[in-house]
């Protein structure tokens, strides 16, 4: 299973739970069982999942309707008419824009609340701790606590997509731990580093009947064994703590580079670090030059460069990366590329 599978089965669970509560726990009606076979209400209700502009939750039919990062992922493919709302666009450095960023997050939370009010059949809100594919967009813990409060008030499930951020990349096992939520998410999805795809959840999201929400492998026990050994290695070698220290080292160095190069919006959580260059062309040039220097790095958004090192990435590796980055930036500056 992939991250899309994790999200889509979680969407289904949220919708099943929502309808189970609406039905007050009563059995399906004959009309529901009959109408769903031809994709009609009431058996196939017009429920929705709310997502955020800039989000990436997968490329399958349901998850693609909650993906809003790049048109090339979506064009030519039919989509559910599900609600989308704004994700904060923060200004950097954060310490210089406290009031503006607080106002931006307040605006987005008000928009979320209004959107849920006008979409009474919304079963869940899904969000990434860091909008990875959409440009490594971050928000404050206060913003995510605001989402939790609004979803509680509206009776809507809160899903956190940790497909990219889970298993230590943020400097904690789960990136949403940084938020210090008063109430935990209703579900957290995972894949990638976890060696398998799935989600853990509140008891209310457990299907009320068997045979409703599973796959061919019934949980894929072989992958679960891989996950068990992966978690054992991560714990024995303190890799989550290592990610925190390595990420902090890179972040501080990049903030220093801002003073000498047109490198802006340095942001990060653990080793989930990114920065912007002046133009998309400059970003693409840097990625190509870094590759020639022996470092594979990636882009996201329109002009961002992002780091996605392995958990075994140490301060020693970080210094190699930073040295090569410094040489490439000097080369580009002297050439007039930035």
Instruction: Give residue-wise pLDDT tens across range 195-237.
Output: 888 999 999 999 888 888 877 777 778 888 999 999 999 999 9
3-state helix, strand, coil in the chain (%, to 5): 45, 15, 40
CA separation for the pair 212, 9 (Å, rounded): 10
Q: What is the pLDDT of residue 221?
A: 83
The string of pLDDT tens digits covering residues 259-304 is: 999 999 999 999 999 999 999 999 999 999 999 999 999 999 899 9
CA angle 329, 332, 336 (to 5 degrees): 135
Q: What is the pLDDT of residue 224?
A: 87
Q: What is the pLDDT of residue 136?
A: 95
Place of tokens 């020693």: 316
Q: Which of 26, 99, 216, 259 is catalytic?
A: 216
Mean pLDDT within 50-75: 95
216 included as an active-site residue: yes
Mean pLDDT within 95-120: 98
Q: Which of 52, 56, 87, 275 is catalytic?
A: 56
CA angle 40, 64, 105 (to 5 degrees): 110
Mean pLDDT within 238-264: 97
Q: Which of 85, 158, 192, 297 is catalytic?
A: 192
183 included as an active-site residue: no
Mean pLDDT within 148-169: 97
Q: Which of 161, 172, 243, 276 is catalytic?
A: 161
Q: What is the pLDDT of residue 209?
A: 87
What is the total residue count of the chain? 338
Could you tell me which of 132, 84, 128, 51 has the C-alpha nearest to residue 301?
132
**pLDDT-derived band of residue 74, with 50, 70 and 90 as boundaries?**
very high
Mean pLDDT within 60-69: 95
% of the chain surpassing 90 pLDDT: 91
pLDDT at 125 exceeding the cut of 90: yes
264 included as an active-site residue: no
Asked whether the beta carbons of 297 and 322 are under 8 A apart, the reply is no
The pTM for the full model equals 0.95
pLDDT at 81 exceeding the cut of 90: yes
204 included as an active-site residue: no
pLDDT at 40 exceeding the cut of 80: yes
**pLDDT-derived band of residue 149, with 50, 70 and 90 as boundaries?**
very high
Mean pLDDT within 163-177: 97
Q: What is the pLDDT of residue 25?
A: 93
């Amino acid at each position: 299973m992939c991250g899309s599978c994790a999200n889509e089965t979680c969407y289904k669970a949220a919708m099943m739970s929502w309808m189970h509560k609406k039905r007050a726990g009563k059995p399906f009606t004959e009309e529901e069982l009959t109408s769903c076979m031809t994709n009609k209400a009431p058996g196939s209700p017009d429920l929705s999942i709310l997502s955020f502009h800039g989000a990436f939750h997968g490329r399958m039919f349901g998850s693609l309707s909650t993906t809003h990062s790049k048109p090339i992922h979506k064009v030519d493919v039919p989509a559910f008419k599900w609600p989308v709302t704004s994700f904060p666009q923060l200004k950097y450095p954060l310490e210089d824009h406290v009031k503006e960023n607080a106002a931006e997050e307040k605006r987005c939370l008000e928009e979320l609340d209004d959107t849920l009010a006008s979409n009474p059949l919304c079963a869940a809100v899904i969000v990434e701790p860091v909008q990875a594919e959409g440009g490594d967009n971050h928000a404050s813990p206060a913003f995510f606590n605001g989402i939790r409060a609004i979803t509680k008030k509206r009776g809507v499930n809160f899903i956190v997509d940790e497909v990219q951020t889970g298993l230590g990349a943020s400097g904690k096992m789960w990136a949403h731990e940084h938020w210090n939520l008063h109430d935990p998410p209703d579900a957290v999805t995972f894949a990638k580093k976890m060696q398998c795809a799935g989600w853990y959840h509140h008891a209310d999201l457990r299907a009320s009947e068997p045979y409703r929400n599973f796959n061919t492998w019934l949980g894929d026990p072989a992958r679960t064994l891989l996950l068990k050994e992966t978690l054992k290695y991560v714990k024995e070698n303190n890799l989550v703590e290592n990610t925190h220290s390595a990420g902090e080292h890179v972040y501080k160095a990049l903030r220093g580079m801002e003073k000498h190069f047109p490198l802006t919006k340095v942001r990060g959580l653990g080793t989930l670090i990114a920065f912007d260059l002046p133009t998309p062309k400059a970003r693409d040039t840097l990625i190509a030059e870094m590759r020639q220097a022996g470092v594979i790095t990636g882009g996201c958004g329109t002009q961002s460069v992002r780091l996605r090192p392995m958990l075994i990435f140490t301060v020693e590796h970080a210094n190699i990366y930073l040295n090569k980055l410094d040489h490439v930036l000097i080369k580009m500056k002297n050439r007039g590329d930035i």
